[in-house]
């Protein structure tokens, strides 16, 4: 049967980004600026016809934001928002995981993930 699982099947990678929108965007319905920065970790594992993808991202939001969740679009809402205690703005987090089985012509996916 050989080695069932090895480090070649498992990859971990950093996630780091920052974006600025002068007129709002997916996360903000008003025509006002917003800055979003994120840092986190992602992982992918593949074994035969199965794969697992997971991400955890800590987000910092600055700009014309209040703690009212209605400021966010229904497609990109967050589970909670917390005012930053050390800096201007708010923070929240996103965690996703997708388990997939793929063998032509069948593809089955489940979990909490974006399309």
Q: How many helices (H) and strands (E) does the chain have?
A: 0, 6
Query: Which residue(s) pair with 94 in the sheet?
Result: 57
Other Cβ atoms less than 10 A from the Cβ of 63: the count is 19
Tokens of 71: 């400021």
| Backbone dihedral angles phi then psi of residue 7, each to the nearest 5 degrees | -65, -20
pLDDT in tens, the chain (115 residues): 445 555 678 899 999 999 888 876 665 556 777 788 999 999 999 988 999 999 999 988 887 665 554 455 544 556 556 665 666 677 788 899 999 999 999 999 999 887 6
């Amino acid at each position: 049967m050989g080695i069932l699982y090895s480090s070649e099947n498992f990859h971990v990678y950093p996630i780091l980004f920052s974006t600025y929108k002068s007129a709002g965007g997916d996360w903000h319905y008003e025509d006002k600026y917003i800055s979003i920065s994120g840092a986190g970790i992602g992982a992918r594992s593949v074994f035969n016809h199965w794969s697992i993808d997971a991400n955890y991202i800590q987000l910092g939001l600055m700009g014309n934001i209040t703690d009212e969740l209605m400021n966010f679009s229904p497609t990109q809402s967050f589970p909670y928002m917390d005012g930053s205690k050390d800096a201007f703005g708010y923070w929240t987090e996103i965690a996703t995981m997708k388990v997939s089985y793929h063998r032509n012509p069948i593809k089955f996916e489940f979990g909490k993930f974006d399309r």
